[in-house]
Amino acid sequence: MLSLEHIRTLCSGEIHIGEPLAPMTSFRIGGPADILIEPVNGEELSALVRYFRVIDASFVLLGNGSNILVSDEGIRGVVINIERHFSSLSFDDGVVTAGAGVRLSKFVDFCVRHRLAGAEMLAGIPGTLGGGVIMNAGAYGGEISDHMLDVTVLRDGIMRTLKKSESGFRYRGSDLRGDIVLSARFRFPEGDEEALKARRKELLLKRNAAQPVRWPNAGSIFKNPEGRHAARLIEESGLKGYAVGGAQVAEQHANFIINTGGATAADVLAVIRHVRATVRARTDVTLELEILLLGFAPEAIAFLN
Ligand SMILES: Cc1cc2nc3c(=O)[nH]c(=O)nc-3n(C[C@H](O)[C@H](O)[C@H](O)COP(=O)(O)OP(=O)(O)OC[C@H]3O[C@@H](n4cnc5c(N)ncnc54)[C@H](O)[C@@H]3O)c2cc1C
């Protein structure tokens, strides 16, 4: 059984009991975590993960919470947040090394400042590097894995460095699910600082014009099916503005669900269910979720199978 006392001997960072998760997600939705811990380095994290394995306790990683929907009941057991203490960023011998907790916006700014081209298309993605690597985050024709050399992960409690070719990166995914990303290394081609700044600004403006930035959301809800646009399929199914409780298909971008105030996770799931069923009935396309669902009972999300 999970022992808080034992966790305290392994983790010198902060430990929160019954911590509300809604404020830690971009959707502003979700119940509390039984225990939220913030280990301060890889050794602590490794010891904690090995302990959880021994007692067969599950745990969940939380980055910046910008690509998840947490259930209204929250998450039973342990949530690990490494955002605060894994945020080192360096540039040596032409290689950028970034900790998993580094915000993508900081990573982009750092690369631009060092006249490195290829990260600027990630500007405006509101996550951490670790979450971005797991999801292979990308935008405007680029992905975070494009210029990656390798990624250091904890796998089964053991630290390993995997080459990019061993990580199975693909559209909004990787073979790293189940691992904990600790850091990643990149080698970018040289660029012109003013041109990179201009491109970053242009993409940020484009993003702000296209996305419903006024309301809490989790970015794109569904992956784009091969050769199609999820947003277009949803829009053409007449679903813009469709709402359940405080969750609504955004008028500005049909692949976004916005929290117009007081939305519950159940509201969001109901919208997801209706959108998928309607699009499938009209087009034969089954939309696949891009966001991750955390803390849900299997029966609550069985409709996704
Ligand atoms: C307004 C908005 C716009 C967005 N635009 C884009 C976009 O253009 N392109 C895009 O790709 N995404 C986009 N996103 C989605 C999201 O920002 C990215 O997927 C981001 O990389 C997720 O990072 P995070 O730290 O927030 O991860 P979280 O949401 O906290 O977690 C996502 C998943 O990764 C896991 N995870 C987090 N950190 C780690 C770690 N260190 N090790 C192992 N697992 C981990 C979590 O358990 C979870 O399963 C957008 C989101 C919003 C709200």
pLDDT digits over 22-42, tens only? 999 999 999 999 999 999 999
Please report whether residue 114 resides in a domain: yes
Number of folded domains in the chain? 3
**Same domain, yes or no, for 77 and 156?**
no
Ligand 1 nearest-atom number relative to CA 82: 41
Tokens of 55: 């007692």
| Percent of the chain topping pLDDT 70 | 100
Mean pLDDT of the chain: 96
- Residue 134: the pLDDT is 95
Please report whether residue 206 resides in a domain: no
Calpha distance 217→212 (Å, rounded) = 8
- For residue 1, pLDDT beyond 90: no
Tokens of 233: 């399929």
Calpha distance 211→213 (Å, rounded) = 6
- pTM for the structure as a whole: 0.95
Measuring from atom 3 of ligand 1, which residue has the nearest CA?
Answer: 219
Please identify which of the residues 172, 185, 200, 276 carries the catalytic annotation: 172
**Same domain, yes or no, for 228 and 186?**
no
Calpha distance 30→26 (Å, rounded) = 11
Which of the four pLDDT bands, split at 50, 70 and 90, describes residue 70? very high
Please report whether residue 207 resides in a domain: no
**Same domain, yes or no, for 217 and 284?**
yes
- For residue 305, pLDDT beyond 90: no
pLDDT tens-digit readout, 3-16: 999 999 999 999 99
Strand-pairing partners, residue 180, are 154
- For residue 177, pLDDT beyond 90: no
Please report whether residue 20 resides in a domain: yes
**Same domain, yes or no, for 25 and 117?**
no
Calpha distance 269→212 (Å, rounded) = 19
- For residue 91, pLDDT beyond 90: yes
**Same domain, yes or no, for 96 and 182?**
yes
8 A C-beta contact, residue 140 and residue 118: no
Tell me the residue range of the domain where 155 lies.
89-196
Ligand 1 nearest-atom number relative to CA 27: 53
**Same domain, yes or no, for 94 and 191?**
yes
Pocket perturbation via mutation, ligand 1, pick of 41, 59, 61, 80 by most ligand atoms within 8 A of CB: 61
Calpha distance 64→292 (Å, rounded) = 13
pLDDT tens-digit readout, 270-290: 999 999 999 999 999 999 999
Tokens of 143: 């992905």
Measuring from atom 21 of ligand 1, which residue has the nearest CA?
Answer: 132
Please identify which of the residues 145, 183, 220, 237 carries the catalytic annotation: 220
Tokens of 302: 């069985």
CATH code at position 285? 3.90.78.10
Ligand 1 nearest-atom number relative to CA 67: 29
pLDDT tens-digit readout, 204-235: 999 999 999 899 999 999 999 999 999 999 99
**Same domain, yes or no, for 28 and 103?**
no
- For residue 182, pLDDT beyond 90: yes
- Residue 290: the pLDDT is 96
Pocket perturbation via mutation, ligand 1, pick of 24, 62, 135 by most ligand atoms within 8 A of CB: 135
Please report whether residue 63 resides in a domain: yes
Please report whether residue 40 resides in a domain: yes
**Same domain, yes or no, for 96 and 187?**
yes
Range 120-125 contact pairs with CB under 8 angstroms and sequence separation of 24 or more:
120/196, 120/199, 120/200, 120/203, 121/199, 121/203, 123/200, 123/203, 123/204, 123/207, 124/203, 124/204, 124/207, 124/208, 125/66, 125/219
- Residue 213: the pLDDT is 87
CATH code at position 105? 3.30.465.10
> What are the respective helix, strand and coil percentages of the chain, to the nearest 5?
30, 25, 40
Ligand 1, CB within 6 Å, residue ranges:
26, 60-68, 82, 100, 125-128, 130-132, 134-135, 137-139, 180-181, 211, 217-219, 292
Nearest to 292 by CA among 156, 130, 135, 83: 135
CB atoms within 10 A of CB 41: 13
Q: Pick from 196, 220, 237: which residue ends a domain?
A: 196
Report, as an integer, the average pLDDT of 72-86.
Answer: 95
Q: Pick from 170, 196, 222: which residue ends a domain?
A: 196
Reply yes or no on whether 220 is catalytic: yes
